[in-house]
Structure 1
Amino acid sequence: MKWEEVKEIYPNQYVLIKILKSHIEDNREVVDEVAVERCIKDPREATNLLVRSKGDTLVYHTGNERIVLELRARPGFRGATI
C-alpha cells in the first residue's frame, strides 16, 4: 500500500507498518510501499513499540508527508583482536 493511501485510511494516527519497498536518495531511505499491521491509538504504546521495533517494522505517524529514514553507518571495530 502506498503511504498516501495509509494517510487517507488512518488520518492523524500512529500506525505499525512493515516496509515492503523503498529506495535510497542522498543517504536516506525513502519508503515507497508499506503493509499496515495495525493502528495505535495510545501515544505511549506507539513509543514503546517504536523503541522495540527491529528490521523493516516501525511505528510512524500519518501526519508525516513521506516516510524518510536517515541511514547511519554502523560503527566498526577496527584493529580489535580477540
Structure 2
Amino acid sequence: MQWEEVRKIYPDQYVKLQILASHIDGNTKYVDEVALIKAIHDPKEATQELLRSKDGVIVSHTSNKELKIEIRALRGLRGVVQYEN
C-alpha cells in the first residue's frame, strides 16, 4: 500500500505501519510501500507504540505529506573495539 492510500483511508490520525519497501537518498530514508498494522486514535498510545516499535515498524500521523525518516549516525561510542582470537 502506498502512503497516499493510507492518508486517504485514515485521514488525520496516527497509524502503525510495517515498511515493505524504501530507498535512501543522502541521510534520508524514503518509504515507498507499507503494510498497515493498525490505526491509533489516542496520541499517548501512538507514542507508546512508537517507543516499542522495531525492525521496520513505525508510527506516523497521516497529516504528513511524505513518509520519510532521517538517518542519524550513532554518537557517544568511544575508543576502539579490539577482538581477540
> What TM-score results when the alignment is normalised by the length of structure 1?
0.90
Instruction: Please state if 1:67 is matched with 2:64.
Output: no
Instruction: Please state if 1:21 is matched with 2:21.
Output: yes
Equivalence for 2:41: 41
Q: Percent identity?
A: 48
Alpha-carbon distance between aligned partners in 2 of 1:30 and 1:78, rounded to the nearest angstrom: 33
What are the superposed Cα offsets for residues 22-60 of structure 1, whole Å, 9 maximum, x if unpaired? Answer: 001121100000000000011100011111111200110
Alpha-carbon distance between aligned partners in 1 of 2:82 and 2:31, rounded to the nearest angstrom: 38
Alpha-carbon distance between aligned partners in 2 of 1:78 and 1:55, rounded to the nearest angstrom: 28
Alpha-carbon distance between aligned partners in 2 of 1:38 and 1:17, rounded to the nearest angstrom: 7
Q: 1:73 to 1:38 in 2, by over 3 A?
A: same
The runs of at least 4 consecutive aligned structure 1 residues that moved more than 3 Å come to 75-78
Equivalence for 1:79: 80
Larger radius of gyration: 2
